[in-house]
Structure 1
Amino acid sequence: MGLHFNAKKCAALHIDGSKRDLVQGTGFQIQGEPVIPLAEGQAYQHLGTPTGFRVRQTPEDTIQEILQDATKIDASLLAPWQKINALNTFLIPHISFTLRGSAVAKVPLNKVDKIIRKLVKKWLFLPQRASHELVYITYRHGGANVPRMGDLCDVAVITHAFCLLTCPDATVRNIAANPLRDATEKQISRALSNQDITNFLSGSFDGEFGRDEHDIASLWSRTRNATCRLGKHIGCRWEWCEERQELGVRVPQIRSDDNTIVTPSARGLLERTLKATIHSLYVETLKHKPDPGKAFDLTSKWDASNHFLAGGGFTRFADWQFIHRARLNCVPLNGAVHHGNRDKRCRKCGYSNESSLPHVLCSCKPHSRAWQLRHNAIQNRLVTAIAPRLGDISVNCTIPGTDSQL
């Protein structure tokens, strides 16, 4: 095929289980050139992931590079919505790709999530005490569309395991299924059934599945832990269908009692289904919060309410700095402070509660001119949008044929 290998970029790892020193320093050659032999604990950087014998797979260097890039985006002269878009376009896929091939520890991921969440809230002009859910939900629901790193990792592990176990190639399926059966048998110490395998993968800790003396770290233990974590939040679990003799993953729908069962024939939909359910969970969580839920329940219903989030269209910087704080009731007003004995009266008109949306925007009399201008702006926008062929347009007058003053 005309391919040539660069021996300087290659490495060899020779393990002999019959000897005391497992890793052998055997010299290999490729196209007549020597290949660097890896020693125990020495890693080869493969697709951003350190690979070797007894090597921690957490890609510390790759994670550090991603955080440095996020800091550079923050220091750039991009508009706030462009910074969020750059993060979602370049850095999040980089993290997602790295998670697919690595056994990443949770502590570094939590650190990444904390730093990225802090930056996104800064770009949204939100205080750090604001609800985290707004960072994680999609644009169409009014969020920044930045996934939580822990969720991204769990979804990647479950999707990777499901794709291996349902691969159309029988050789790949057997290579994946045999160590899974071995891990399950070691856990329950008896002959197992297909239902036992699904209980193991679903993270069951009932009875014999609760013993930990036979649990060893592997792709399947990571899959079990990931399903257990997600199962507590969205209720997903692995299932075996006796009738069709196939493995599937059940993903409940947050807003209804329906369930989506992803089968091998639809294996490509598992990642999308899990992410959609996680987003729905964050949306419902935010809706039920007493402060931000009131406005967010309305603004999350229609895409048109959030058209500006992805590209900042028709949005001034002053609007962007205000709208997210107003939606989450984080505007620094007297009525928004719930601790202490602070005076909650309106500093303009003396009303008993200076709250952000109900009073300041719509009821405070010193701002009545702003109401009128806002009303007229919306009205004029509607007038412009109505085609003349539809008839005469009446503005600021009684509707013809009625006695109403509206």
Structure 2
Amino acid sequence: MPGSVLAWSSTKASHPTPSAELVINEFGAWVQTTKKHILIAASHLAPWQKLEIFRSHLLPSLSHHLASGRVLKDCLTQLDTECRKFLGLICNLPNHATVPFFYADRRVGGLGTCRLTDDADILTIARAAQLLTCRDPTVRNICREQLHDTIRRGFRNEHPGVLPVGEYLSGSVDGGSTDLGSNLWTLARQAAKQLGVRMDVSGDENIRIVADDVSVSPVKEVHGFRKVARQRYTRDLISDKSHQGVVATGLSLEEKSKDMARLVSCRTPFSFRDWRYLHRARLDILPLRGHSWFCSQEQDTSCRRCGKENETGFHVLNHCEEGLQLTTKRHNTIQDLLESLLVKQGHDVTINNAIPGQRLRPDVEFQLSGSRLMVDVVVCYDQPGSMENAYQRKYDKYSSHGRILPLVVGSLGSWYPRNDEVR
């Protein structure tokens, strides 16, 4: 056992083995477009089922090969590109969909998948840390001694005193440390440097691994750093300077609920027709001619249905007069859900009751602790500024007539945090 571990951990990684290369090629074939009629993309599964298979079965099948460090990064980069093409096909997205969307948290409208180049680094670091903390003292001591030998050769056997094990594995080059040859420890060092990971190996059996102020143990390293990577892509999506990150800023206001994740899971309530437009609408890349990136200067940018405002996602989802019937239906659906919840809680609810001497009609009105409480529903575009303005307009409109709690919902699923006051 110790001999096999030593031989495995010192394997050269400059070229992938034939078996690993074969697995990579087969997986690449699985994620081709439907034009090649390959397996999942050409199957009759629902798109959310294809996503679940991709996330839960295909990606984990590569874990062993990624952890061994035997797959070239160029190969993984190419495979990541093919995966995005596959995901774009499932979600009906064009080629210019922003990359962070595919890896961002589903809470902000992303797909929440793993990038193989990141996973390779995460799994390599995890494998190295787990060997260094192995319960078998023989395996643990052999691995630590091999690591020390690698560091000594990096310093050309001239480094005095205590070896900087933690600094070396964290990618530090202080003191002239260099990588000579290629084994598990040099690969883990390169992966830690790539991910911005710091490793603390001050204890004999305990290792703490830190990235972005998140500290994890070797046992939970994979889960923890996948979450760190997802958070990084989430921030990239939210901070996108183009139009594609606008809706994500609204969706990100709710930090606890898993409702958004369910919308792109196997439990989604969406129909096939809804699915075709969901992700395009959230990235604001629907083919609407009011967008500056879609139209030419000479082209008419007015709405093709009402002919008034610019034809943008903001207008189509919330302000187009031709869609007024659907807008009213959406509003009433939210109102009916709220009413049913209040009735279940034992409240006597009044709907659309006019305020005495006024033309105002709050959507929902009931008594709470002997005082009147009004709740008025408003649906606006998924942008923090739009939601704040919508809340303030409702408050200014009704506040002089009693206690008012506006219920602000984004047209693409955002939940305004002050809605919790209603709860």
> CA distance change for structure 1 residues 332 and 181 in 2, over 3 Å: closer, same or farther?
same
Aligned: 1:281 with 2:235: no
Instruction: Find the counterpart in structure 1 of residue 209 from structure 2.
Output: 249
Corresponding residue number in structure 2 for 1:345: 302
Q: Distance in 2 between matches of 1:171 and 1:404?
A: 79
Offset of 1:145 from its aligned partner?
2.6
Counterpart in the other structure of 2:271: 316
Instruction: Name the structure 2 match of 1:387.
Output: 343
Where 1:307 maps in the other structure, the secondary structure is helix
Within 1, Cα distance between the matches of 2:13 and 2:155? 28
Taking the aligned partners of 2:208 and 2:175, their CA distance within structure 1 comes to 23
Is contact 2:166-2:200 (8 Å) kept?
yes
Q: 1:238 is matched with which residue? A: 199
CA-CA distance at 1:394 after TM superposition: 2.2
Contact 1:349 / 1:365 at 8 angstroms: preserved in 2? yes
Partners of 1:297 and 1:76 in 2: how far apart? 34
Question: Secondary structure in 1 aligned to 2:351?
Answer: coil
Tell me how far 1:195 sits from its aligned partner: 5.9
Give the TM-score normalised by structure 2.
Answer: 0.73
Q: Deviations over 1:18-54 (max 9, x none)?
A: xxxxxxxxxxxxxxxxxxxxxxxxxxxx9xxxx9999
1:375 to 313, 325, 331: 331
Displacement of 1:343 after TM fit? Answer: 4.0
Deviation, structure 1 residue 388: 5.0
Conserved 8 A contact 2:133-2:205: no
Provide closer, same or farther for how the CA distance between residues 56 and 362 of structure 1 changes in structure 2, counting only shifts above 3 A. closer
Quickly say closer, same or farther: Cα 1:240–1:174, change in 2 above 3 A: closer
Q: What letter corresponds to residue 312 of structure 2 in structure 1? A: S
Contact 2:134 2:140 in 1 (8 A): yes
1:156 to 119, 123, 138: 123
* C-alpha deviation, 1:129, in angstroms: 0.7
CA RMSD of aligned residues (A): 2.9
Partner of 2:285: 330
Q: Secondary structure at the match of 2:124?
A: helix
- Tell me the equivalent position of 1:167: 134
Pick closer, same or farther for the CA change 1:162–1:326 going to 2, 3 Å.
same
Q: Specify every segment of 5 or more residues in structure 2 that has no aligned partner in the other structure, as ranges.
A: 32-37, 363-423
Structure 1 residue 330: Cα displacement: 0.8
C-alpha deviations, 1:198-238, integer Å up to 9, x for none? 222111234513x5xx621111111111111111xxxx212
Amino acid in the other structure paired with 1:196? P
Contact 1:349–1:364 (8 Å) recurs in 2: yes
Cross-structure match for 1:69: 30
C-alpha displacement of 1:246: 4.9
Bigger RCO of structures 1 and 2 (CA < 8 A, at least 6 apart): 2
SS of structure 2 residue aligned to 1:156: helix
Q: Equivalent residue for 1:201?
A: 169
Residues 94-145 of structure 1 show CA distances to partners (whole Å, capped at 9, x for unaligned) of 0123322352111111121111111111111111211122211344443323
Task: Specify the SS of the correspondent of 1:261.
Answer: strand
Tell me the percent identity.
29
TM-score (norm 1): 0.76
Q: Judging changes above 3 Å, is the alpha-carbon distance between structure 1 residues 402 and 283 closer, same or farther for their aligned structure 2 residues? A: farther
Shift of 1:374: 1.5
2:249 is aligned with 1:294: no
Question: 1:390 aligns to what SS in structure 2?
Answer: coil
The whole-number CA distance in structure 2 between the counterparts of 1:169 and 1:296 is: 47
The separation in 1 between residues aligned to 2:41 and 2:205, in whole angstroms, is 51
Q: Say which is worse superposed, 306-315 or 82-91, in terms of deviation.
A: 306-315
The 1-side partners of 2:227 and 2:13 are apart by: 37
Could you tell me how far apart the structure 2 residues matched to 1:396 and 1:251 are?
53
